[in-house]
Amino acid sequence: MKKYLLAILLLVMASSALQAHVINYELEKMSGDTVFWRYLVLGFQHIIPLGFDHILFITCVFFLNSDLKQVILQASMFTLAHSLTLGLAMYGIIKPPANVIEPLIALSIVFLAIENIYSNKVKPWRLVMVFLFGMVHGMGFAGALSQLGMPQYAFATALISFNVGVEIGQLTIILFLYFIVARSFSGKIWYRRRIVIPISVVIALVASWWTVERIFLV
């Protein structure tokens, strides 16, 4: 079990060098098919490896209930929510301020991590909270696409494919955690005590620092 905790600690040490929501890409004239695949890849990259905060959020979603169907259901609610606010933001219907959204994203991770520590099962309102947090994260995704730029001639295609890429990234994290950790260990009586709670504590500390950093230091 120590190797899993060591991996998390190494990620924490690396987190200061990772900047979420930063994608630099020189936008050129592309065909519709090229737009779809290029933005799908960019959506995936925004989760793996650039979206360290989103990786921790999905990790928190996973560890409260390692049942694969339940985790995928929660991830799908998250995707539906962030797709909604991302679309509204990119079409200019809403204009969320980054100095508010970024701390809220960090706080959403803190909340789920703490819930994982004190709760041993998914409560009925968990899906509602994941949906609401997904709406916040979608506003953060809008910042990435704003920096990237969108081809006006294929705006909807780029938006949809970016969301598909994000979803594939999330499912990759879920399946990785399932096959590496949960499949072998989730049935053990020490699973929560030795894996879920220690990892959740580390995630809560990291996200708490992000919250302070994004409010006061940026």
Domain ranges within the chain, ordered by starting residue: 32-217
pLDDT of 31: 60
Instruction: Say yes or no to pLDDT of 58 above 70.
Output: yes
Instruction: Say yes or no to pLDDT of 10 above 50.
Output: no
3-state secondary structure the chain: CHHHHHHHHHHHHHHCCCCCCCCCCCCCCCCHHHHHHHHHHHHHHHHCCCCHHHHHHHHHHHHHCCCHHHHHHHHHHHHHHHHHHHHHHHCCCCCCCHHHHHHHHHHHHHHHHHHHHHCCCCCCCHHHHHHHHHHHHHHHHHHHHHHHCCCHHHHHHHHHHHHHHHHHHHHHHHHHHHHHHHHHHCCCCCHHHHHHHHHHHHHHHHHHHHHHHHHHHC
Q: What is the pLDDT of residues 41-50, one digit of tens each?
A: 999 998 998 8
Sign of the alpha-carbon torsion through 102, 104, 109, 110: positive
Rounded mean pLDDT, 155-183: 91
For residue 44, give the nearest of 162, 174, 180 by alpha carbon: 162
HSE, side-chain direction, 13 A CA sphere, residue 70:
13
The Cα diameter of the chain in Å comes to 56
More confident residue, 4 or 189: 189
Q: What is the pLDDT of residues 112-145, one digit of tens each?
A: 999 999 987 777 778 888 999 999 998 988 877 7
Cis bond before residue 49 (omega within 30° of 0): yes
pLDDT of 30: 61
Rounded mean pLDDT, 150-173: 86
Q: Residue 69: which pLDDT band, with cuts at 50, 70 and 90?
A: confident
